[in-house]
Amino acid sequence: MVGIAITCCLAVGGFMKWLRNDRMIAVLLILTGMLAVIGVVYRVPENPRLNTWDGLLGPLAYVASYALLRQAYRSIFQREPTYAYLTWYDWEERRRMNWFDLGVHILPMLIGMAVPAIVTRVLG
């Protein structure tokens, strides 16, 4: 549950445009990588339910997928992805959002939530 909470906090940071700094993403990759190592080391494979240590893989999956999608978006559109809640227009940047903006923010969140469940299902 701790890993899912961290993943949700990271997703809120992405929605609030706090993850637009490359240095911050690099630090988050290192920190979430350390969490993932802890999760792998302390994993108990005999637990048939969702292993609590598997949840620590979710933040790394979120940050890595967000960084890759953000970099791809920046190379294609030459600007930062944006997200505006319940609207298709971002008033701070004075531009309309497109489906790629939405994908950069929603897909990593789904990936970060699905990875722990998939790892638990595959590894048992």
Could you list the residue range(s) of the whole structural domain that residue 114 is in?
2-123
Cα–Cα dist 59/75, whole Å: 24
Please state the pTM of the whole predicted model: 0.88
Mind listing the pLDDT tens digit of every residue in the chain (124 residues)?
788 889 989 999 988 889 989 999 999 999 999 999 988 888 776 665 656 777 889 999 999 999 999 999 999 999 999 888 888 888 888 899 999 999 999 999 999 999 888 887 787 6
Quick one: how far is CA 74 from the chain centroid?
Answer: 17
User: How many structural domains compose the chain?
Assistant: 1
Q: What confidence score (pLDDT) does residue 48 get? A: 56
